[in-house]
């Protein structure tokens, strides 16, 4: 699992392994979730690469940059709580990644 500072330091997009680490799972689990359509944020296919938009991870985890923290009330992330690598408060079985870019 990443710290808030690590999350805020990520580039605009990250690979699937990094996105998995951000939500508290390993590489194999991240790829398994993607393959079954259960990764909790949209995954972009760019050629042979799989990328995740960092802003989508931030929204999922309820992370905001210092710029947006002072702009008003915040809402918790869609994911809820991550505890010991288990995602709590988010039913992954009902999640759809939507279409992927070709």
**Encoded tokens for 7:** 């999350």
Query: Residues 6 or more apart from 1 whose CB is under 8 A from it?
Result: 21, 22, 23, 24, 82, 85
Q: Within 13 Å of residue 21, how many CA atoms lie on the same side as its CB?
A: 12
Q: How much is the average pLDDT of 86-102?
A: 46
The structure tokens listed for 4 are: 């808030």
Pairing of the two strands 86-88 and 49-53: unpaired
Give CA angle at 90 (87, 94), nearest 5°: 120
Q: What is the tens place of the pLDDT at every residue in 15-69?
A: 999 999 999 999 999 999 999 999 999 999 999 999 999 999 999 999 987 665 5
């Amino acid at each position: 699992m990443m710290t808030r500072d690590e999350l805020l330091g990520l580039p605009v997009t990250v690979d699937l392994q990094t996105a998995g680490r951000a939500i508290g799972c390993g590489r194999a689990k991240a790829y398994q979730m993607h393959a079954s359509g259960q990764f909790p944020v949209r995954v972009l296919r760019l050629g042979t690469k799989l990328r995740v938009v960092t802003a989508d991870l931030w929204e999922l985890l309820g992370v905001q940059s210092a710029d947006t923290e002072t702009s008003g009330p915040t809402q918790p992330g869609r994911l809820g709580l991550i505890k010991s690598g288990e995602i709590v408060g988010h039913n992954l079985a009902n999640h759809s990644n939507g279409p992927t870019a070709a």
